[in-house]
Amino acid sequence: MSEVITIAIVAYNSSSTILETLNSALTQTYQAKNIELLISDDGSSDNTTVVASDWLQSNQHHFYRAALYKNKVNKGVSANCNIVWRNATGRWIKTIAADDILVDTCICDNLNYIKEHPEAQVLFSDAILFSGDLKNQKVAKNDQKLFAMTQAEQFNMLLKGCNILAPTSFMSKKTLESVGFADERYAMLEDYPLWYKILKQGIGLDYFEKETVYYRVGDSLSQHSEFIGNAKYLNSLYCFQKDCIWPELSYKDVFKIWDDYIIFKEKTLWLKFVGTKRSNTYLIYHYITCLFRPYRLYKMIRKFL
């Protein structure tokens, strides 16, 4: 018998997209009878849980096990992830947001890599960006240079910033347990602090070059190119940088710290006093603040050298 793999779906106000996510779990080339399907809803105000419950009633018999967890109040994405991660019984966990879609071979592709690299504990791949009903597709690749580095080098690179495609992650339950799962102090930021804890513990990040998920962009406030961002997310990111990243940096990185601070203030002040729209006026404001960001200017100059 093949081993049980957990697919963990995290949802919030996802009634219009969660069926696509659920169906992509069912149509995996890895047999559904060996898949544990866990869904956690973070206090949605729409009918996400009704849609998920109806779907489970018709399809849960295909899976090894299926469960839906309902938060009475919104706790944030970190706590929502922890619910399904802590309840998972599979040795490996594939996490997916309820507005993204798994490629049919996602589980098999990840397991094939692990079979050839049994030392792997946290694995990444590539994604296909899309909007609407799988239109306007574009391949998004992880930074292969990062994954070619040693664990120590990966950690130092992560201190400079995080551009890892979190939706492609495939993680060992044992590893998640060893680092204490997602850090719920940063309610809206489950991935960056998690990669930080994993690398700090001496565990490297693996990668293989293949698209395993469809990643929906342009349909949320935090992702849409016409909007600046989400205040709660920005606050979680800033607090994490201040608590964990900055203490790891050397005196040579003082401009990096200043840069993080300016970015946070630039966006949060605009959100507070003007709004979320990325207007031409905001772009002028943004370029002016760049004059006070020597680290940003340094990186821009390096690109041309």
Q: Beta partners for 9?
A: 39, 96
What pLDDT was estimated at residue 305?
Answer: 62
Q: Which residues of 181-190 are buried (b: 16+ CB within 10 A; e: fewer)?
A: bbbbebbbbb
- Specify the DSSP class assigned to residue 142: -
Residue type, 131: S
Residue 201 to residue 187: CA distance in whole angstroms: 22
Say yes or no to pLDDT of 304 above 80.
Answer: no
Residue 120 to residue 133: CA distance in whole angstroms: 34
What pLDDT was estimated at residue 134?
Answer: 79
Q: Quick one: three-class SS letters along 4-45?
A: CEEEEEEECCCCCCHHHHHHHHHCCCCCHHHEEEEEEECCCC
In angstroms, the first-to-last Cα distance of the chain is 56
Residue 51 to residue 237: CA distance in whole angstroms: 32
Mean per-residue pLDDT, 204-232: 81
What pLDDT was estimated at residue 19?
Answer: 98
What pLDDT was estimated at residue 222?
Answer: 40
What pLDDT was estimated at residue 296?
Answer: 76
Which alpha helices (H) appear in 77-172, and where do they start and end? 77-87, 106-116, 144-147, 151-160
Answer left, alpha or beta for residue 122, where phi above 0 means left and psi between -120 and 50 means alpha.
Answer: beta
Reduced to 3 states (helix: H, G, I; strand: E, B; else coil), residue 60 is: helix
Residue type, 8: A
CB distance 36 to 63 below 8 Å: yes
Say yes or no to pLDDT of 221 above 50.
Answer: no
Residue 295: band (very low, low, confident or very high) from pLDDT cuts 50, 70, 90: confident
Say yes or no to pLDDT of 56 above 80.
Answer: yes
CB distance 9 to 71 below 8 Å: no
Q: Share the mean pLDDT of the chain.
A: 93
CB distance 11 to 43 below 8 Å: no
CB distance 40 to 71 below 8 Å: yes
Q: Which residues of 129-157 are buried (b: 16+ CB within 10 A; e: fewer)?
A: bbeeeeeeeeeeebeeebbeeeeeebbeb
Residue 272: band (very low, low, confident or very high) from pLDDT cuts 50, 70, 90: very high
Residues in the chain: 305
Mean per-residue pLDDT, 220-244: 81
Residue type, 126: D
Residue 92 to residue 18: CA distance in whole angstroms: 22
CB distance 160 to 256 below 8 Å: yes
Q: Which helix (H) or strand (E) holds 249?
A: none
CA 137 to chain centre: 19
Burial bucket for residue 118 (CB in 10 Å: 0-12, 13-18, 19+):
exposed
Q: Which helix (H) or strand (E) holds 176?
A: helix 173-178
Mean per-residue pLDDT, 60-87: 97
- Specify the DSSP class assigned to residue 167: G
Mean per-residue pLDDT, 288-295: 87
Residue 179: band (very low, low, confident or very high) from pLDDT cuts 50, 70, 90: very high
Residue 220: band (very low, low, confident or very high) from pLDDT cuts 50, 70, 90: very low
